[in-house]
Amino acid sequence: MTDPVLNIPPRDKAEILAQALPYIRKFHGKTMVIKYGGNAMTDPALQADFAEDVVLLKLVGINPVVVHGGGPQIEAALKRLGKTGQFIQGMRVTDAETMEVVEWVLAGEVQQDIVGLINQAGGKAVGLTGRDGGLIRAQKLKMVDRHDPSLFHDVGQVGDIVSIDPGVVQALQDDAFIPVISPIGFGEDNESYNINADVVAGKLATVLKAEKLVLLTNTPGVLDKTGKLLTDLSAREIDDLFADGTISGGMLPKIEGALDAAKSGVNAVHIIDGRVPHAMLLEILTEQAFGTMIRAR
């Protein structure tokens, strides 16, 4: 298949590069935390696009940090073992056996695939889990019942972040590497915890004082009640969308993490459609809005 980029006339290519220049200059030396998930993780063409985008960002002086999910891959691995995944309020119940599967799927199969793709595209990626360098310290999540706040659900080895020590990530960035992080934390007794990747990305962006947090999803972004894409929102407007029920269901945890990051000093959070080729570059390095941007102010 012919690469559509090769068919762009030279004058148009030059114009595209010229339009990107102000954004490259503005974000040079800044950190961007990218939550990698959805179709972008499972479609081979989109995987290649993602790897190229991450490498390009690094080459123009932006510091990408990748946090990945892996729900479908975990589910497939559990099925191969004859084990059925259980969920309470959208959270995977993680017993000891499931935790073992989570660790080898996320820190093994999924992480190494991403590292390989980025390296193949010309970058220098390094895989990490929350254990490396004491990156993510966690404790058992106390899940409150949605309908009765006096009740708690036991979801096993699902973690709540206690603290993040970004030293290992910063050291890798300074050495021109691209960190790729699996959302696994460790407790005070050295036990492992499965942590929501959106939550890890949001907290990490805050601790690293990132310029941007980018969440790749399987939706165009935040939609209003008529299905129209909302491209530019303030933290206060997001609060209003929670209150009137516009944001609900599966988008809740994603938006909550994004909102926390925006309120905690991350200048902008982008929720973009990972099904669009090179959506990340289009959102960050052009004037055209390809998703929802949540502004800190």
Please give the helix or strand (H or E) that residue 185 lies within, else none.
strand 184-186
**What's the CA angle centered on 173, arms 161 and 259, to 5 degrees?**
40
CB 128 within 8 A of CB 64: no
Report d(CA 164, CA 183) in Å as an integer: 12
Is 71 annotated to bind a ligand? Reply is: yes
Is 159 annotated to bind a ligand? Reply is: no
Is 119 annotated to bind a ligand? Reply is: no
Distances (CA, A) of 132 to 30, 168, 212: 23, 7, 24
DSSP SS3 for 139: strand
Cα-only R_g, the chain = 19
Would you give the end-to-end CA distance of the chain in angstroms?
44
Report d(CA 87, CA 63) in Å as an integer: 35
CA 243 to chain centre: 25
User: Residue 153: exposed, middle, or buried by beta-carbon count in 10 A (0-12, 13-18, 19+)?
Assistant: middle
Q: Give the residue from 258, 118, 241, 128 showing the smallest Cα distance to 180.
A: 128
Is 39 annotated to bind a ligand? Reply is: no
Contacts of 24 by beta carbon, 8 Å cutoff, 6+ apart: 60, 61, 62, 285
Binding-site residue set:
70-71, 92, 194
Binding-site residue set for substrate:
70-71, 92, 194
